[in-house]
Amino acid sequence: MGLAKRIAAIVVPLGLVVGGVAYGVSRHSTHEDKTLGECRTRVAGLTVVLTDEQARNATLIAAIAIRRGMPAHAATIGIATALQESKLYNLRGGDRDSLGLFQQRHSQGWGTRRQILDPVYAINAFYDALEKVPGWETLAVTKAAQEVQRSGFPEAYATYEADARALASALTGFSPMAFQCHLPAPSGTPVSVARRATDLRAALAPAFGSLGVGVATGGDLQVAVPSGARGWALASYVVAHATQLGISTVTYAGRAWSTGQDAGWHRIEGGLDRSRVVFG
């Protein structure tokens, strides 16, 4: 495949934990830095600020659209709907029996309470319904969202359309390096490289499907991606989930993002660091 095959390197030093670890660090752990725990998207002059929890849900909505082979317009509709319905939080309650990211209702056939509170299930259920809307690919965001949700306030989706477009553009990879988070450096009990690779593969599967995760020199984890846009979508997803995965650095296409600093994506000194970005 030569240089055509690109690999995004997810850098996880041996001393860090990959998996569901409670790190005991939040944006309130310091009185000096008010941006710790925030994620920012900048596209075409618009900046959208989310909490890390909101960002994790937004990246999942975008990733599942990609996995299903849907255009970025689907991610825009999904994110705009979730912003309106739940502010991108997986709510455990709402109006009557409404639940989750999209405030889906068991009584309206969306699934069981447990299913609706599973973000992967809820997002796929939303897209299942969206795909049944005739001509949804060309419908306005508010119209498409309303066709799925049947909200009593259909005009409310328009409030979030611009933010949703910016987020969808960044999180589906069409706006490279547009998404970044300011997260604390992870800490925890170390596990083996093989276990970290298995945990990362399992974490990515619900969003992107089966991906090859390998181990490079120095214990870096590498994830193969088929295209530039897909690579940036994957990189954004991993950045948003870095705390949960115990990841300290993500590198892709000659750029790097790291926890513990608010520098965004920066060029790797000396060009591509071949211990982190591998061409096969």
96: containing domain: 43-171
Percent of the chain scored above 70 by pLDDT? 84
C-alpha closest to that of 97 among 78, 116, 76: 116
Tell me the pLDDT band of 248, cut-offs 50, 70 and 90. Answer: confident
Is the pLDDT at 2 greater than 90? The verdict is no
Q: What is the pLDDT of residue 247?
A: 85
Chain centre to alpha carbon of residue 31: 27
Query: 113 with 96: CB under 8 angstroms?
Result: no
Q: Let me know if residue 241 belongs to a domain.
A: yes
Q: Let me know if residue 176 belongs to a domain.
A: no
56 and 162 inside one domain: yes
The 10s digit of each residue's pLDDT in 140-167 is 999 999 999 887 777 888 999 999 999 9
Q: What is the pLDDT of residue 53?
A: 96
**How many domains does one find in the chain?**
2
82 and 122 inside one domain: yes
The 10s digit of each residue's pLDDT in 79-117 is 999 999 999 999 987 677 889 999 998 888 889 999 999
49 and 164 inside one domain: yes
Contacts of 41 (CB under 8 A, 6+ apart): 47, 48, 50, 166, 167, 170, 171, 178, 179
Rounded CA-CA distance 151/33 in Å is 39
Amino acid (one-letter) located at 219: G
Look at 131 and 217; give whichever has higher pLDDT.
131
Percent of the chain scored above 90 by pLDDT? 53
33 and 47 inside one domain: no
Amino acid (one-letter) located at 233: A
162 and 190 inside one domain: no
Q: Let me know if residue 150 belongs to a domain.
A: yes
Strands (E) across 54-212 are located at 98-99, 104-105, 179-182
* Average of per-residue pLDDT values in the chain: 82
Q: Let me know if residue 280 belongs to a domain.
A: no
22 and 61 inside one domain: no
30 and 47 inside one domain: no
Q: Let me know if residue 19 belongs to a domain.
A: yes
Q: Let me know if residue 274 belongs to a domain.
A: no
C-alpha closest to that of 273 among 2, 4, 7, 5: 7
Asked which of 138, 171, 204 is the last residue of a domain, the reply is 171
147 and 244 inside one domain: no
Rounded CA-CA distance 196/267 in Å is 26
CB atoms near residue 269 (< 10 Å) = 7
C-alpha closest to that of 77 among 125, 119, 139: 139
Asked which of 103, 137, 171 is the last residue of a domain, the reply is 171
The pair of structure tokens assigned to 255 is 């750029």
67 and 148 inside one domain: yes
206 and 111 inside one domain: no
Asked which of 132, 150, 171 is the last residue of a domain, the reply is 171
pTM score, two decimals?
A: 0.86
Rounded CA-CA distance 251/270 in Å is 14
Rounded CA-CA distance 175/278 in Å is 22
